[in-house]
């Protein structure tokens, strides 16, 4: 039986640490989620959604930071079913590296359909750098955010055209989404291509984006998201909505 009256989250990491700091990500993302007033636990591995243990079953939102793990099709289907039934899912950075193993994209079709995208490449501008993010402020996930700059990895993704794009960066081929939202049955999904390493995790705007993603996917009412998520300063004496007290 679930004892908490407020939503809870489970931050999950999996894969290889050759290109991504999985331990650092688990600690940083847990801290960011907790800033939003959402209790967050950490876990390792995606082999947990079939007949889940209480720590997995009782979480309202799963926050994924994956780096090319083996994600078996039955586990993909179990996660998809949990979200379809009402769980929230926040997918960060390389967690959409689907279709790169045997069988190609079709082997990961359930996960691709659930998340709404898959990673393609870094593009032609190098692998990382500083870039501007243009925010679409109409959605609850981005309503209290403004445009910002970030040091991060460049990603090009193949996405479902039906997702609600929340933020973009400019590329030579046109705007490239860096965050979007979608629904999946009774559940909600947010993806952001941002969040490679500590430079991004420490960016106050990224942290705000992630907090509001978690709150929206957890089903927190839109009118409450600001009060739940904007208590933390953006730096330089500023807070969302005005100067710091």
How are the residues of the chain apportioned to helix, strand and coil, as percentages rounded to the nearest 5? 30, 30, 40
pLDDT band at residue 18 under the 50/70/90 scheme: confident
Structural domain harbouring 42: 9-243
Sequence-distant (6+) residues with CB within 8 A of 54 are none
pLDDT, tens digit, 9 for 90 and up, residues 84-115 = 999 999 999 999 999 988 889 999 999 999 99
Nearby residues of 15 by Cβ (< 8 Å), 6 or more positions away: 22, 66, 67, 68, 69, 94
CATH number of the domain to which 77 belongs: 3.40.50.880
Binned at pLDDT 50, 70 and 90, residue 1 comes out as: very low
User: Has residue 168 been placed in a domain?
Assistant: yes
Query: Per the domain annotation, does 2 fall within a domain?
Result: no
Q: Is residue 3 part of a domain?
A: no
Q: Considering the entire predicted model, what is its pTM?
A: 0.93
Residue 65 lies in a domain: yes
Q: Is residue 171 part of a domain?
A: yes
Q: What is the pLDDT, as a whole number, of residue 239? A: 53
Number of domains forming the structure of the chain: 1
Whether 4 is in a domain gets the answer no
Q: Count the Cβ atoms, other than its own, within 10 Å of residue 242.
A: 8
């Amino acid at each position: 039986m679930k004892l908490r009256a407020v939503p809870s989250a489970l931050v999950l990491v999996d894969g290889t640490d050759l290109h991504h700091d999985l331990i650092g990500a688990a600690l940083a993302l847990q801290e960011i989620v907790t800033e939003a007033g959402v209790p967050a636990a950490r876990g390792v591995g995606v082999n947990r959604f079939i007949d889940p243990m209480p720590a997995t079953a009782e979480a309202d939102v799963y926050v994924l930071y994956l780096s090319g793990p083996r994600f078996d099709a039955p586990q993909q289907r179990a996660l998809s079913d949990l979200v379809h039934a009402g769980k929230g899912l926040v997918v960060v950075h390389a967690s959409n590296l689907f279709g790169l193993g045997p069988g190609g994209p079709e082997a990961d079709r359930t996960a691709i359909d659930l998340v709404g995208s898959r990673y393609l490449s870094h593009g032609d501008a190098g692998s990382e750098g500083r870039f501007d993010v243009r925010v679409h402020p109409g959605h609850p996930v981005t309503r209290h955010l403004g445009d910002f700059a970030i040091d991060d990895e460049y990603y090009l993704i193949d996405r479902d055209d039906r997702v609600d794009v929340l933020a973009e960066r400019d590329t030579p081929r046109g705007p490239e989404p860096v965050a979007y939202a979608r629904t999946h049955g009774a559940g909600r999904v947010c993806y952001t291509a941002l969040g490679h390493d500590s430079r991004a995790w420490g960016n106050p705007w990224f942290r705000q984006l992630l907090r509001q993603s978690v709150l929206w996917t957890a089903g927190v009412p839109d009118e409450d998201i600001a009060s739940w998520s904007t208590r933390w300063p953006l730096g330089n004496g500023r807070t969302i909505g005005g100067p710091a007290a």
